[in-house]
Structure 1
Amino acid sequence: MIDILDKWMDSSVYNFNIFVGITTILAIISIIAMFYFYKQIGKPDERTSIIYLKVSTTMFSTLVCAIAVYISWVDSNIIYFRQYLLFIFSISLLAGAIMSAIQYKKDFS
């Protein structure tokens, strides 16, 4: 799958820009959502620090798992490896934003 995506991005500058644009938009939306839910949850205290810890743990575990899969499945001749790493970080931010939303709904609804 990574080889197909790499060939697709290498075939045209537009395809490369689409991939980078989607990754950037995903990261920006995730960061905005996390800041929104962090602001809604409130300042750190005994109750909210547990929520922040769950969100951070989810982001970290997603990042570690995605990097492990990336390292084990990707060949060394991949051209756009930096873009894939940025995509992995964006996925980690998305997991944190989703977990923030879940914890906010669960604890404050």
Structure 2
Amino acid sequence: MKIHSLSDIPAWLFYPLKTWTDSSYNHYNLFLSLIMIEVLFALGAWWYLYKKIGKSDERTDRIYLRATWLCFVVVIVCESIFPTEYLLKQFEVLKYGIGMLAADIYLFAVYRKSN
């Protein structure tokens, strides 16, 4: 696959993944399973860090707002990188999982810095 413009880069990056998932049901199910494990890990880490940082007050509200902003920015960046022609719902869940992981990393850094 040749790249003729910037819009061809996502297809070039993710076309091998598309062919791999299309080659077998097992590959497709493995891809879905890894995405779900990533999302569940991100949710669990967020819940754990939310409990560790504490209840809502002036300090924690600002921390949670910054984590949400970071998650939003990462999802917007992923929106421009991931393809929009195939595996739409799978990549959508992957984008949100990556955004949540970015917020988790920020929350973990803030938690470690405060303790």
Structures share fold, TM-score greater than 0.5 = yes
Distance 2:70 2:95 in 1: 14
Percent of aligned pairs sharing the same letter: 29
2:94 aligned with 1:82: no
Structure 1: 5+ residue stretches without partners: none
CA deviation profile, 1:65-106 (whole Å, cap 9, x unmatched): 110222xxx363x2x222111111111111111111111111
Moved over 3 A (4+): none
Among 58, 72, 78, the residue aligned to 1:66 = 78
RMSD: 1.2
Distance 1:97 1:86 in 2: 16
Partner of 1:53: 65
Partner of 2:3: none
Q: Give the TM-score normalised by structure 2.
A: 0.84
Among 18, 31, 34, the residue aligned to 1:19 = 31
Q: Give the TM-score normalised by structure 1.
A: 0.88
Q: Which amino acid counterpart does residue 55 of structure 2 have in structure 1?
A: K
Q: Which has the higher contact order (CA 8 A, sep 6+)?
A: 1
Structure 2: 5+ residue stretches without partners: 1-12
CA deviation profile, 1:34-82 (whole Å, cap 9, x unmatched): 1111111111111111110111111010001110222xxx363x2x222
Q: Which moved more, 1:98-107 or 1:21-30?
A: 98-107
Count of residue pairs the alignment pairs up:
103
